[in-house]
A and B are shown apart, each in its own frame.
Chain A
């Protein structure tokens, strides 16, 4: 590795607490002790990067990557696109984004998901892309359905797509969820509402994008993602010079 990148401290006011009282699973799975803080070391300043060659030709197209030849996925066809940036506003190129989701009926292709909605034989529910030089990404899929989940009450997840995002450093690693503009379940969801900042929840909400929507084919949703930036203590010239 040629240079070390310092990573900005995480802004915990923008993230859910480790234990969120209304999200019951977090009660026994969120650590109690305060995390130990230390200056970025080589271990966290570096991280895995992946070349475009790890991708298969259809990894970014959930409408066909699990379908039998000629098979069509059931549900609303959508394209999700956006730009991955860091907290300093820089686009993050060549970064892997993995997505997974329920089908249009709200059912996951997983042996432990026993929800009443049927599996779609042509839909697997996972895909991956690598961002372009300008940090942009896009993938096609079906709009997922809301689904019920056991949390002690009448809880339904808003329609969502799970995102796993790699940056340039292991400490930037992020898993989050994308919601859809206008979904009334967002305001009712203990997981979405575990985020203490309303604007931060809003930033996880994709917007209908008619400019990128393809007439008579597929609707587009826009979802931008921001990873932690570099620390303020390390200047550009220090990085390059040493």
Chain B
């Protein structure tokens, strides 16, 4: 087949919420259903909540961001038809995003490798020129020999690991700075 050059990415700009989460953006005559709002309803597994903020290089929270989530169910199975897809917009005042979902199961890859439970995350906002792929792992569910975490130097690995607190799991995403999150080219 002919090789075609892929279309260039462009920033989602400050109003990505209009296009991807219009109800959240306040469009009163919107769609019959806003996508990415039913992770917990669509997947079997133990309910969990992950909260965080996207932090820029100045230390300020990103108020116009959107986190997309792709994950398997509690047994580690990926589904079709949008089940396992979520969207968590940054709050316009605080920057906090909230992911209400279920604990994903470990994933057995085609070659038999076992990946520790994780959420795939994709981050877009004004100022992000190409959407950023990263992951969220869970502190008590990380295997020592996880194939992806093992590739990352230990001091940076922690940027991918959500910590359990009184209010659910917490994971901030740092676009720059001392604690810059590990992003993937996948």
A residues near B, CB below 8 A? Answer: 1, 4, 7, 9-11, 14-18, 20, 23, 25-33, 35-38, 40-44, 46-51, 54, 56, 59, 65-66, 85-90, 96, 98-100, 108-113, 124-126, 128, 162, 164, 170-171, 173-177, 191-192, 194-195, 197, 199-201, 203-204, 225-229, 242
Contact between chains at B9 and A30 (CB < 8 Å): no
> Is the CB of B84 closer than 8 A to any CB of chain A?
yes
A176/B8 contact (C-beta < 8 A), A7-B186, A15-B130, A29-B125 known: yes
Bound CA–CA A184/B5 (angstroms): 24
Total number of B residues with any Cβ neighbor in A under 8 Å: 81
By DSSP majority rule, is chain A's interface helix, strand, loop, or mixed? loop
> Is the CB of B144 closer than 8 A to any CB of chain A?
no
Query: How many interface contacts (CB-CB < 8 Å) are there between A and B?
Result: 262
**Quick one: CB contact mask for B123-151 with A, threshold 8 Å, 1 for yes?**
01111111111010000000000011001
Contact between chains at A14 and B109 (CB < 8 Å): no
Within 8 Å CB of A33, what residues of B?
156, 180, 182-183
Contact between chains at A203 and B7 (CB < 8 Å): yes
> Is the CB of B32 closer than 8 A to any CB of chain A?
yes
A31/B176 contact (C-beta < 8 A), A25-B11, A44-B133, A175-B124 known: yes
Q: Which of A23, A48, A195, A227 has the most CB of B within 10 A?
A: A48
Contact between chains at A26 and B129 (CB < 8 Å): yes
> Is the CB of B168 closer than 8 A to any CB of chain A?
no
Q: How far is the CB of B52 from chain A (nearest CB, A)?
A: 16
Contact between chains at A30 and B85 (CB < 8 Å): no
Query: Can you name the residue of chain B whose Cβ is closest to the Cβ of A84?
Result: B7
Within 8 Å CB of B151, what residues of A?
36, 38
